[in-house]
Amino acid sequence: MNESPVIRILNLAKWTPSGDNTQPWRFEIIDDYRIVVHIQYAQEIVVYDLNDQNTLLAIGALLLTMELAATAEGCQMHVQHRQHAQGKLLAIDIRFSLDQTIQVDPLVLEIPRRAVQRRPLSMRKLTHSQKQSLQQAAGKHYTIHWMESLPQRIRMTKLILQTTRIRLRIPEAYPVHKSIIEWNAQYSLDRIPDAALGPGPINLKIMRAVLSSWERVQFLNRYIGAAWSTSLQLDGWTALSCGAHMLMLRDQKPLTDEDFIDIGKAVQRVWLTATQLDLWQQPEMVIPIFARYISENVPFTTLTDQLQEAASAKKKLGEIIDTDTDRVVWVGRLGFGPAPTARALRLPLEKLIISKPIGQHTL
């Protein structure tokens, strides 16, 4: 193996999770120990990526993954954010330096093993020490609020169903749902394969037929809402079937790009630690995303009924955590169970590596 250290690090780092498997990063390799991460923001407004926050979370997760992968090379990682351009953080300079005191972090093994499990999980409870390990992984600026008992999981399930109903009804979410699913697929390089979604084969067929046009979605919503909700009930069963829902709260409401990057690092450490404990996770990010739209007064849809629904969901979230909903930075369902049989893959490294973009200079 005569790959350079950065290539080995990037081959692991590419397994970082990103919203809808968008992989919003491109790598410019300077030499064996230096790279630039270029952030790829969505070209169009994505309803699930309010102010690019999901993109920045994924970038944070990437930085943590690279930092862990670097330990396997006996390296420390040094990070420098470039100055914002066009109001955005566009690039991050990364340098690795050899350090004989560095020990390989055991979480490195979990990087390729971590994956989303959207199917029902065991209802076995997490032990106190497992929850403690996850809290420790989150770090001192975050508190994990657990929803574990049956009544608590029912409460979370109702909240999830409410947000699912919103997202299936608003036209703004339709292009995302239509474009991110790869149909009849067990694996996908740059999207989510349908087999990795929650519904079974029959419901997937219905979903595919419905999603083929917005008119069909509207028809179903308007005239046979009940049929739509039957498939939603399955979502409900999945939401209930887990050991716990975790809500990660930050000590302060996040405001800056750096705050969201920091959240991404904490989330990835928690997720990898969960994997180490043989726990699977399904993120449930629609809950905090819709809540944040409401608190920022951003009308994310033209449908006023659905804006009201979102306001009601935000209120319920507030009652669950009994504090400002803006502090909720991550929500996910956790549980023991079988590994997913289908999963999102990643673009090959050759596609993620770019030559130097015009007009940008490295340090």
Site for ligand FMN, rule CB under 6 A: 17-21, 54, 57-58, 61, 115-116, 118, 192, 282-286, 343-344
**Helical residues (DSSP H) of 34-99, grouped into ranges:** 53-71
CB of 187 to ligand FMN, least distance (A): 10
Query: Between 70 and 344, whose beta carbon lies closer to ligand FMN?
Result: 344
Q: 86 exposed, middle or buried (CB, 10 Å; 0-12, 13-18, 19+)?
A: exposed
CB-hemisphere CA count at 13 Å for 86?
4
Give the residue closest to ligand FMN by C-beta. Answer: 17
> What's 172's DSSP letter?
G
Q: What residues does 246 pair with on adjacent strands?
A: 146, 332
Query: Between 33 and 53, whose beta carbon lies closer to ligand FMN?
Result: 53
CB of 15 to ligand FMN, least distance (A): 6
Sheet harboring 142-147: ordered strands across?
142-147, 244-250, 328-335, 280-283
Q: Which residues of 139-156 are buried (b: 16+ CB within 10 A; e: fewer)?
A: eeebebbbbbeeeebebb
CB of 31 to ligand FMN, least distance (A): 29
Query: Between 23 and 301, whose beta carbon lies closer to ligand FMN?
Result: 23
CB of 111 to ligand FMN, least distance (A): 10
Q: 158 exposed, middle or buried (CB, 10 Å; 0-12, 13-18, 19+)?
A: middle
Angle (nearest 5°) at CA 324 between 318 and 329: 90
Query: Between 34 and 190, whose beta carbon lies closer to ligand FMN?
Result: 190
Query: Between 220 and 248, whose beta carbon lies closer to ligand FMN?
Result: 248
Query: Between 18 and 306, whose beta carbon lies closer to ligand FMN?
Result: 18
CB of 184 to ligand FMN, least distance (A): 17
In three-state secondary structure terms, 44 is: coil
CB of 224 to ligand FMN, least distance (A): 25
C-alpha distances in angstroms, 272 versus 32, 68, 156, 320?
A: 26, 11, 23, 26
CB of 21 to ligand FMN, least distance (A): 3
Query: Between 33 and 260, whose beta carbon lies closer to ligand FMN?
Result: 260
